A and B are shown apart, each in its own frame.
Chain A
Amino acid sequence: MRTIYAVIAAVVLLLWSTLSHAQDYTTRKGQVQFSSSTSAELIEATNNDVAARLSADGKGLFIIPVKSFRFKKALMQEHFNENYMESDHYPKATYNFTVTDIERVDLNTPGRYSVRTKGTMAIKDVKRDIEVPGYIVVADDKTIRIEADFSVVPADYNIVIPKLVENKIARTIKVKVNSSLNK
């Protein structure tokens, strides 16, 4: 008898986890860009290899492979990876978050919904609790797009800018998220 209960429980659990995951929106090729703008230099980079997940209850995750940031100049890309992000040691950055006002979003009705997220950003060996505002755009085909513009301070994440290039790299880096997710 006990075995039967255990089997039923296992089946229910399996079904529940399958159903709850069926609601997840995901992508493996999300886009994240950043720019650093000073009077001396404009530095921009784009990453199209970002993995993202958002479940209907508002829980989400971004995984950013650091080496996939593409710069116009190979030299900038090299400095970014070797000197600032140390991407051989820390190959990915993550943002593990919750959309705190997910009840405002109707995932079945197309529209552009303004939302707030709260979570933990992990860059290099530093984890920080942050809040990022953004938009969830529900398209006609029921796919969604996550859009956000926010700033990151390199010094907060143990990214040391040498004195020699201080005037070329902004103290706050502008980050732009634009990622389409499918069910």
Chain B
Amino acid sequence: MKKAIIYLLLLCALLAAGAGVYLWNKPHRNIEDARPMPVNAAELSAAFEADEAGANRKYLNQPLTVSGIVGEVADNDSGQMVVFIRGYDDLSGVQCTLREGAANGKPAVGNQVTISGFCNGYTTVVILDDCKFVR
């Protein structure tokens, strides 16, 4: 009986340790595992500019697939590729930071592009992170 209790306690301790190790090492969110909602860049940027709180309720934290025209391609200070998709006017748009290893090829300014990523909200443009190219 005593032995059974000891084994049971040991099993519980092992399970707890396993869960701890899993949580500590769990991977970052990955756009490959998500089912993004399609939206075009003009519509998305207009939604945030018209009603930021309402757009946050709808889009914040959500995986999105955004389509539009490439306005700028540059690297950020961490060396990640950042693609800016033009919004409904010259100042608005969606800033997409490609996740590591996803920046295969550089889209040309003026071309149509489709990018999936997670919406982190709005600064002066809509922010999309952990992105990958769809086409």
Contact = CB atoms under 8 A, between A and B. Distances in A.
Q: Do A and B bind each other?
A: yes
Interface stretch (A44-52, A103-111, A124-132, A156-164): A44-52
Given A65-B122, A73-B24, A77-B28, A48 B61 contact: no
A29 B26 contact: no
Given A67-B61, A67-B120, A91-B121, A48 B97 contact: yes
Interface residues of B, number: 27
Contacts of A49: 95, 97, 120, 123, 127, 129
Interface in A63-99: 63-68, 70, 73-75, 77, 88, 91-92
16 contacts: A28-B123, A28-B125, A31-B76, A31-B77, A48-B77, A48-B78, A49-B95, A49-B123, A49-B129, A50-B123, A51-B124, A66-B121, A73-B24, A77-B28, A91-B120, A178-B77
Contacts of B80: 48
Contact of A63 (B24, B29, B123): B123
B88 to A, nearest CB: 17
Contact of B77 (A26, A29, A65): A29
Interface string B122-135: 11110101000000
Contacts of B77: 29, 31, 48, 178, 180
Interface residues of A, number: 25
Nearest to A74: B28
B78 A65 contact: no
A91 B56 contact: yes
A88 B60 contact: yes
B4 interface: no
